[in-house]
């Protein structure tokens, strides 16, 4: 019965007026940025992170989470109607969704996408509620050696599942680690890597890096390419799918949900990877794969369910182990740190209202999104006509004031300019900035645990092999690394990401 | 498809740039940490991990550069200086003005200069953006959220 008590606690926390309000704001903002191409959830979270400092901790997390999963709903709308995926995770939805819209079945595609997303969101929220306490209980027995191995495993997984070159991703993690170590060393009290700048003695603020790499750099890159606009295929006549649509879609929704929930848990996974894998899976199991690309409803249902399931279940490693699995989760970790919460297994124990409230709010948010998306679809489509040149100055204001407000100093804004330029260079060099952010937030944790473990073992690295969980994690990391060197696997991985970049 | 003149050429430009960035950052890390105590594995000094990781980044940089030289030619993609320089200048100006000149001047600079990054922007739109966003910023950030920034230079 403890499970139900926890759920009741969660819902009673989530339905307070403040939390409901911020859940709605998050869902609305998420839909908005999902609809608008050129503004992704990662950048939005980075920009709004400083503002959450002024909110109560739970309301802040509820809003940020809402933005992330809300974007999965919103992204599919424009993918289907105008062949312009608002988010990377809805790129595959556009393939069959837009074809359906051209055939006059836009309503059916939108409805299936929204209903499938809602179903997937519900299932993976329950999954999070069930798996959370088990994993967290398991993690409570972790010592420094286990945490070190877990961090290494998480970071390595993130490089493999991220798109692009693995060696570059490892390099980016390294840069992130270095940046995370800037400031005063907790053990010896000496300054390091600060270049003598007093402003850096407390380390670099998470918000400065996030806004620079994801906010400012993204605006510059967006302005380099002229805006592309699709035309709305048809008027939406009937929103309700036919009986035949339902019959074809529900197995795809089920498969997508399962796949997405699983891939979301893996470090480096999340919404985008889930959607691409689900599309490939649907094509493989279909009896007539030729339908795909010509308006197959399974091609909408599977990926849409998967991206939402993946978005929800990627919260699991962060909330139970304290290890973020992708850049968005690193942002949430940043938000928790701003409020003085150390994410990890103890959160569930010490602040059960925070953990269960967030989970309950995710389900409520999914319900809100269903309402926000289906009846209000016309409104969101109108927003597409707002040109980017009017939007980005507003985003700039949010970026700058946000960075300034963290410690009320102009130095941070100047530092963000540097990271903006660096972020621009990274994009030109085809280096994903996500792993850098993961390295940055995990750097201090990695060093502390390595130091502790080595201090206990008096400098002998055998401590990592003698403890079974740590050994298993290290073997898994090594196996992943070896797998990557196998040419056949490397080739499949490259092929899997080719579609994504196209 | 690559045409004949490109067929024989080597050099993956994004990889070469990435290699250069890694080499510079790795070297910078080694240089910044040159005076830090290494310690030993049992009692790690402040320099232990930073120096090891800096060296690793430097090595990766060398590796990426060599791989970039050997793989087939790939261009770096469009680089337009206008948005790059204008946006960085706009934000840097905000940073300078925020401390001494106050929010109104800083925001007007940021929005006014920043808007020029898009060649399609019209003067009337810029003026409207400055007025609307500055007032919005004062109400939401300074009054509403209580961000500690003076409004004007006085």
pLDDT tens by residue, A200-230: 888 998 999 999 998 899 899 989 877 655 5
Task: Tell me the residues of chain A between 240 and 269 that have a Cβ less than 8 Å away from chain B.
Answer: none
Residue B94 lies in a domain: yes
State whether B12 and B55 are in the same domain: yes
Number of domains composing chain A: 1
Residue of chain B with shortest Cα separation from A54: B145
Q: In this complex, is the C-beta atom of A409 within 8 Å of any C-beta atom belonging to chain B? A: yes
Q: Is A171–B64 a contact, with Cβ atoms under 8 angstroms apart?
A: yes
Residue B149 lies in a domain: no
State whether B66 and B96 are in the same domain: no
Q: Out of B25, B82, B129, name the one closest to residue A390 (CB).
A: B129
Q: Which two tokens stand for residue A172?
A: 């980016």
Q: Out of B54, B79, B91, name the one closest to residue A178 (CB).
A: B54
CA angle A152, A336, A16 (to 5 degrees): 140
Q: Which of A342, A270, A322 is nearest to A146 (CA)?
A: A322
The sign of the torsion formed by the CA atoms of A206, A212, A213, A215 equals: positive
Number of domains composing chain B: 2
- This model of the complex carries an ipTM of 0.92
Residue B151 lies in a domain: no
Averaged pLDDT, B43-65: 93
Torsion of CA A211, A215, A217, A222, to 10 degrees: 180
Residue B121 lies in a domain: yes
State whether B19 and B63 are in the same domain: yes
- Give the whole-angstrom CA distance, residue A163 versus residue A477: 18
Cβ atoms of residues A61 and A358 within 8 Å: yes
State whether B103 and B52 are in the same domain: no
Cβ atoms of residues A76 and A373 within 8 Å: no
Contacts of A319 (CB under 8 A, 6+ apart): A128, A132, A136, A343, A347, A348, A355, A358
Work out how many CB contacts closer than 8 A connect A with B: 200
| Domain range enclosing B138 | 81-144
The residue to which tokens 């006549």 are assigned: A237
State whether B11 and B66 are in the same domain: yes
CA angle A66, A420, A205 (to 5 degrees): 65
Cβ atoms of residues A194 and A201 within 8 Å: yes
Cβ atoms of residues A66 and A29 within 8 Å: yes
Q: Is A389–B120 a contact, with Cβ atoms under 8 angstroms apart?
A: yes
pLDDT band for position B3 (50/70/90)? very low
pLDDT of residue A24: 94
Best of B13, B34, B45, B49 to mutate (most A CBs within 10 Å, chain A): B49
Q: In this complex, is the C-beta atom of A447 within 8 Å of any C-beta atom belonging to chain B? A: yes
pLDDT band for position B4 (50/70/90)? very low
- Exposed / middle / buried, residue A75 (Cβ in 10 Å: 0-12, 13-18, 19+): buried
Residue of chain A with shortest Cα separation from B30: A193
Residue of chain A with shortest Cα separation from B124: A390
pLDDT of residue A364: 93
Task: Tell me the residues of chain A between 449 and 468 that have a Cβ less than 8 Å away from chain B.
Answer: 450-451, 454-455, 457-461
pLDDT of residue B79: 86
Q: In this complex, is the C-beta atom of A219 within 8 Å of any C-beta atom belonging to chain B? A: yes
Contacts of B67 (CB under 8 A, 6+ apart): A167, B12, B15
Residue B98 lies in a domain: yes
* CA–CA distances in Å: residue A462 to residues A446, A454, A467: 17, 9, 9
Residue of chain A with shortest Cα separation from B97: A410
A392 neighbourhood in chain B, CB within 8 Å: 114, 117-118
Q: In this complex, is the C-beta atom of A418 within 8 Å of any C-beta atom belonging to chain B? A: no
Query: Which ranges of chain A have pLDDT less than 50?
Result: 498-502
| Domain range enclosing A450 | 2-501
- Give the whole-angstrom CA distance, residue A285 versus residue A290: 12
Cα A169 to its chain centre, rounded Å, is 17
Contacts of A458 (CB under 8 A, 6+ apart): B42
Q: Out of B41, B91, B107, name the one closest to residue A216 (CB).
A: B91
Task: Tell me the residues of chain A between 172 and 201 that have a Cβ less than 8 Å away from chain B.
Answer: 174-175, 177-178, 181, 185, 187-188, 190, 192-195
Q: Which two tokens stand for residue B119?
A: 């060649």
- Give the whole-angstrom CA distance, residue B114 versus residue B88: 9
* CA–CA distances in Å: residue A332 to residues A65, A127, A210, A325: 8, 20, 11, 11
Q: Which two tokens stand for residue A301?
A: 């249902």
B92 neighbourhood in chain A, CB within 8 Å: 414, 417
Residue B154 lies in a domain: no
Is the pLDDT at B5 greater than 60? The verdict is no
Residue B9 lies in a domain: yes
Residue B54 lies in a domain: yes
């Amino acid at each position: 019965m403890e499970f139900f008590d926890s759920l009741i606690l969660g819902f009673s926390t989530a339905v307070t007026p403040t939390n409901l309000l911020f859940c709605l704001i998050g869902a609305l903002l998420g839909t908005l940025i999902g609809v608008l191409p050129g503004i992704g959830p990662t950048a939005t979270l980075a920009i709004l992170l400083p503002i959450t400092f002024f909110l109560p901790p739970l309301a802040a997390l509820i809003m940020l989470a809402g933005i992330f999963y809300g974007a999965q709903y919103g992204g599919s709308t424009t993918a289907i109607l105008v062949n312009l995926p608002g988010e990377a995770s809805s790129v595959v939805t556009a393939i069959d969704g837009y074809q359906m819209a051209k055939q006059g079945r836009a309503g059916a595609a939108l409805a299936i996408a929204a209903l499938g997303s809602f179903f997937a969101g519900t299932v993976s929220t329950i999954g999070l509620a069930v798996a959370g306490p088990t994993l967290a209980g398991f993690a409570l027995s972790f010592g420094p050696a286990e945490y070190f191995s877990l961090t290494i495993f998480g970071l390595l997984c993130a490089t493999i599942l991220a798109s692009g070159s693995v060696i570059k991703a490892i390099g980016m993690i390294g840069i992130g680690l270095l940046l995370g170590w800037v400031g005063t060393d907790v053990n010896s009290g000496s300054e390091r890597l600060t270049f003598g700048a007093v402003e850096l003695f407390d380390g670099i603020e998470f918000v400065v890096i996030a806004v620079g790499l994801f906010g400012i750099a993204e605006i510059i890159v967006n302005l380099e390419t002229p805006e592309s606009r699709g035309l709305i295929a048809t008027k939406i006549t009937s929103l309700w799918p036919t009986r035949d649509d339902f019959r074809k879609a529900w197995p795809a929704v089920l498969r997508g949900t399962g796949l997405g929930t699983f891939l979301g848990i893996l470090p480096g996974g999340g919404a985008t990877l889930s959607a691409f894998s689900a599309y490939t899976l649907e094509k493989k199991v279909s009896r007539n794969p030729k339908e795909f690309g010509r308006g197959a409803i399974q091609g909408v249902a599977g990926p849409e369910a998967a991206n939402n399931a993946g978005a929800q279940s990627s919260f699991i490693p962060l909330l139970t182990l304290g290890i973020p699995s992708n850049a968005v989760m690193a942002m949430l970790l940043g938000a928790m740190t701003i409020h003085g919460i150390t994410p990890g297994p103890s959160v569930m124990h010490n602040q059960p209202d925070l953990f269960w409230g967030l989970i309950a709010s995710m389900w409520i948010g999914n319900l809100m999104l269903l309402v926000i998306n289906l009846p209000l679809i016309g409104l969101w489509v109108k927003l597409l006509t707002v040109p980017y040149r009017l939007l980005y100055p507003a985003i700039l204001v949010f970026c700058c004031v946000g960075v300034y407000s963290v410690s009320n100093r102009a130095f941070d804004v100047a530092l963000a300019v540097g990271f903006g330029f660096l972020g621009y260079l990274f994009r030109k060099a085809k280096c994903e900035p996500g792993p850098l952010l993961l390295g940055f937030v995990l750097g201090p944790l990695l060093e502390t645990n390595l130091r502790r473990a080595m201090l206990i073992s008096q400098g002998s690295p055998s401590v990592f092999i003698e403890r079974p969980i740590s050994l298993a994690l290290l073997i898994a990391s090594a196996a992943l690394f070896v797998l990557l060197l196998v040419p056949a696997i490397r080739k499949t991985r490259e092929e899997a990401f080719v579609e994504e970049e196209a | 498809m690559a045409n004949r003149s490109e067929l024989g050429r080597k050099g993956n430009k994004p990889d070469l740039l990435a290699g250069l960035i890694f080499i510079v950052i790795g070297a910078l890390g080694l240089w910044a940490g040159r005076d830090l105590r290494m310690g030993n594995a049992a009692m790690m000094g402040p320099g232990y991990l930073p120096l090891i990781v800096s060296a690793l980044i430097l090595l990766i940089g060398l590796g990426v550069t060599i791989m970039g030289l050997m793989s087939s030619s790939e261009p770096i993609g469009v680089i337009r200086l206008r948005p790059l320089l204008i946006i960085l200048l706009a934000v840097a100006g905000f940073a300078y003005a925020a401390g001494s000149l106050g929010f109104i001047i800083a925001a007007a600079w940021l929005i006014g200069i920043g808007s020029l990054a898009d060649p399609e922007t019209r003067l009337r739109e810029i003026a409207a953006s400055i007025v609307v966003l500055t007032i919005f910023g004062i109400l939401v950030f300074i009054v509403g959220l209580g961000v500690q920034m003076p409004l004007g230079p006085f």
